[in-house]
Amino acid sequence: MDGASEFVTPRIGDPVPPKEDLRLLTCRGMFSDDVSLDGQAYAAVVRSPHAHAVIKAIETTDAMAVPGVLAVLTGTDALADGLKQIPRNVMPSLPDITMDRIILPRRNTCYRPIRPASLVKHSSW
């Protein structure tokens, strides 16, 4: 093959070589809690305790009244703001296969830990 190395497509079940282990095990990892910027805001998400539940309404008034809260976002807000779904690669070995992941649901929760709302505030919890 013209001296080029032959590319072998990984198969399902093949081991995936770790990319971050050395960095994390040698304390050189960087996490979101390690970042501190001027004017930085923090987000927290509310998780649904119920799988396959219908979202009738999300009341945000009390959360918005908490000092320091900048926004309370719901799936309806995300749609109104034109936010698109998050594409994710379901199989790293096959980069062309992706699945969209909703940012915040509007109508129902598909599984128990889904996030129907997000709260943004100035300081961390």
- Number of Cβ atoms within 10 Å of the Cβ of 119: 19
| CATH number, span 38-121 | 3.90.1170.50
Helix (H) or strand (E) holding 70: strand 69-74
What is the residue-level pLDDT of the chain in tens, covering all 125 positions?
Answer: 455 555 566 788 888 777 778 888 888 888 878 888 888 888 888 777 777 888 888 888 998 898 889 988 888 888 888 887 776 666 666 666 666 667 777 777 776 556 666 667 777 65
Question: What DSSP state is assigned to residue 54?
Answer: B
Considering all CA atoms of the chain, what is the largest pairwise distance in Å, rounded to the nearest integer? 68
